[in-house]
Amino acid sequence: MNYYKGNKTEGLTPITSPWMLELLQNSSLLHSLLDNYGSPINIHHLPSFNKNIKKFQQVFRAKKVDAQIFYARKANKCKGLVKEALNTGIGVDTASFKELQQSISLGGKTDSLVLTSAIKTKDQITLAVKKQIPIVLDNNDEVELTQQIAESINKNALIALRVSGFLVDNKKLYSRFGFDIEKVKEYIVENFVTTNKCKNLKLKGLHFHLDGYSTKQRAIALQTCIDLVEELHQYQINIEFIDMGGGILINYLADENEWIQFNKKLQDSVKNKEESLTFNGTGLGYEMIEGKLQGSLKTYPYFNKVNSESFLEEVLVNDFKDSSLSNSERAIENNIQLRIEPGRSLLNQVGVTVAKVAHRKQDAKGQWLVGLEMNMSQMLSSSADFLLDPFVVYQEDVTSNDEAVSLYFTGAYCLERDILLKRSIKLPKLPEIGDLVMFVNTAGYMMHFFETEAHLFELSTNLIYKKLDVNKAPTTKDFINDDNL
Ligand SMILES: Cc1ncc(COP(=O)(O)O)c(C=O)c1O
């Protein structure tokens, strides 16, 4: 074996799928891929994507509720995943002109696409109306613009209204998006019933997407939307679907205890001004103010007992209900299709990022810095750090003469802060130039969301991986460059 996970003990061990381990064991294949496509590469495993789709479908099927999944492609830009989503019969949530246009050219249609962009330009709306793709409208200006465009091309537009401001435990959930749930009924009656202001708009659905990861908030938001659907029946308005957006939590970590211990150690290291756990002692959200530990961990919650299917299940069951029926039972009763727009959770275990070691050095503090042929934007979390131990694939075996080393991986941008992971990574020996580092489970938001071309660096190559023969070891032929799809 010539691959090792960083931090054999006291680490944050990622859940690592068999397909990832198979690649780690096949270092000659990984080297060939990097030789062919440069460093870093992103590898996407289609069967894992498919598995995630099936798991969500199974939850809905068990509840016997009409449902559709729309893969939120903003989480990853690959065409291969969009194609796979459409081939398996689920839809795709698009959030820009190009995402919409490309998804249409990959086979997306009225039932399999939705447009949810935060800013909707005329060209997006025109394309969506022409192709009869439902548009989730956020505000009155968008409603008026869509009405104008639809009327000018003599078509009807299919629309849903995004709503927000749900009351949970007597507190209103703030969002910059959507119509206020407390005022939207009045708005609908005024614009869709008592006047013909929206004569070219067919109101098909309600939509919400909540910040954060509370199942309770989602369950109550769904319940409130179903209440609204029922109230609208008296005005002969028939809402066909409620879209609950994304934000379904996933679990990245194999061991809850490691997560608890890491949190404790991080707090202690901030208190004691220690620098061995994180780069230059960064607290990842914790800091000492006037001698007291303040703040909280500002990262994704990497360990979650309730995740993926069980998360969705909690929203559908709704333990917080004020009626005797669950959310899914009420959806069935009202003939409502339930929709979700998962991004990250459909990409769970779908991708890895692999880069090559370029140099090793010791800084003035004596810390080892290992430079990789990649930059921070090619694996960047929106939160304070990506808290999963990486794997190193050595070219030469580790022997009993080798010395363990703690190090930080650094990237190619000219910024002091291009430290790829803020946690110190302990390895059985110092990597050599040309050794490989694999970061696992990076497909959701980590690869593309913040990727930039500063210094004119090439963007990473994205490979779509599906074995041509499942019984054989993978070869380079099983990997297709997403640009060529
Ligand atoms: C409207 C909407 N739908 C779906 C998603 C996908 O969310 P996630 O990747 O957390 O599932 C987002 C993410 O920002 C969103 O804004």
**At 178, which CATH number?**
3.20.20.10
Expressed in angstroms, the distance from the first to the final Cα of the chain is: 35
Across 23-37, 311-325, 351-365, least confident range: 311-325
Contact between 5 and 393 (Cβ < 8 Å): no
- Over residues 34-63, the pLDDT tens digits come to 999 999 999 999 999 999 999 999 999 999
CA of 344 to the centre of ligand 1 (A): 8
Task: Summarize the confidence of residues 117-129 as an average pLDDT.
Answer: 98
Residue 439: strand pairing partners: 353
pLDDT of 158 above 80: yes
Whether 356 and 273 map to the same domain: the answer is no
| pLDDT, the chain, mean | 97
CA 334, 248, 118, 103 torsion-angle sign: negative
Identify whether 362 is part of a domain.
yes
Task: Summarize the confidence of residues 427-431 as an average pLDDT.
Answer: 98
Residue 158: strand pairing partners: 202
pLDDT of residue 172: 98
Task: Give the rounded percent of residues in the chain with a pLDDT score beyond 90.
Answer: 98
* E strand map for 138-252: 157-164, 167-168, 171-172, 179-180, 201-207, 241-243
Identify whether 57 is part of a domain.
no
Contact between 5 and 31 (Cβ < 8 Å): no
Identify whether 50 is part of a domain.
no
pLDDT of 1 above 90: no
φ/ψ of residue 371, rounded to 5 = -80, 130
pLDDT of 285 above 90: yes
Closest CA to 260 of 305, 309, 291, 311: 305
pLDDT of residue 410: 98
Structure tokens at 373: 């042929």
Whether 163 and 122 map to the same domain: the answer is yes
Whether 327 and 378 map to the same domain: the answer is no
Whether residue 40 is preceded by a cis peptide bond, meaning omega within 30 degrees of 0, is: yes
- The torsion region of residue 230 among left (phi > 0), alpha (psi -120 to 50) and beta comes to alpha
pLDDT of residue 147: 98
Residue 332 belongs to domain spanning: 64-249+302-346
Residue 137: strand pairing partners: 161
Q: Which of 56, 74, 163, 217 to mutate to test the pocket of ligand 1 (most atoms within 8 A of CB)?
A: 74
Angle between helices 97-105 and 122-130 (to 10 degrees): 30
CA of 432 to the centre of ligand 1 (A): 40
Whether 387 and 291 map to the same domain: the answer is no
* E strand map for 233-302: 241-243, 286-289, 292-295
Task: Summarize the confidence of residues 186-197 as an average pLDDT.
Answer: 97
Identify whether 149 is part of a domain.
yes
Confidence of residue 320 (pLDDT cuts 50, 70, 90): confident
CA 215, 217, 220, 224 torsion-angle sign: negative
Whether 173 and 311 map to the same domain: the answer is yes
Residue 444 alpha carbon, nearest atom of ligand 1: 9
* Distance separating alpha carbons of residues 94 and 114, to the nearest angstrom: 6
pLDDT of residue 322: 73
Whether 358 and 455 map to the same domain: the answer is yes
Residue 70 alpha carbon, nearest atom of ligand 1: 4
CA of 312 to the centre of ligand 1 (A): 14
Whether 94 and 183 map to the same domain: the answer is yes
Whether 325 and 393 map to the same domain: the answer is no
State how beta strands 436-440 and 391-393 pair. Answer: antiparallel
User: What does the DSSP 8-state code read for residue 14?
Assistant: B
Angle between helices 308-317 and 215-233 (to 10 degrees): 40
Identify whether 355 is part of a domain.
yes
Identify whether 54 is part of a domain.
no
Residue 345 alpha carbon, nearest atom of ligand 1: 11
Whether 222 and 119 map to the same domain: the answer is yes
User: What does the DSSP 8-state code read for residue 336?
Assistant: P
Clarify whether 78 is annotated catalytic: no
Q: Which of 209, 218, 382 to mutate to test the pocket of ligand 1 (most atoms within 8 A of CB)?
A: 209
pLDDT of residue 321: 76
pLDDT of 77 above 90: yes
pLDDT of residue 55: 98
Residue 339: strand pairing partners: 68, 243
* Distance separating alpha carbons of residues 189 and 183, to the nearest angstrom: 10
Whether 354 and 260 map to the same domain: the answer is no
- How many domains is the chain partitioned into structurally? 3
CA of 401 to the centre of ligand 1 (A): 49
Closest CA to 328 of 4, 67, 26: 67
Identify whether 51 is part of a domain.
no
pLDDT of residue 324: 85
pLDDT of residue 214: 97
Identify whether 92 is part of a domain.
yes
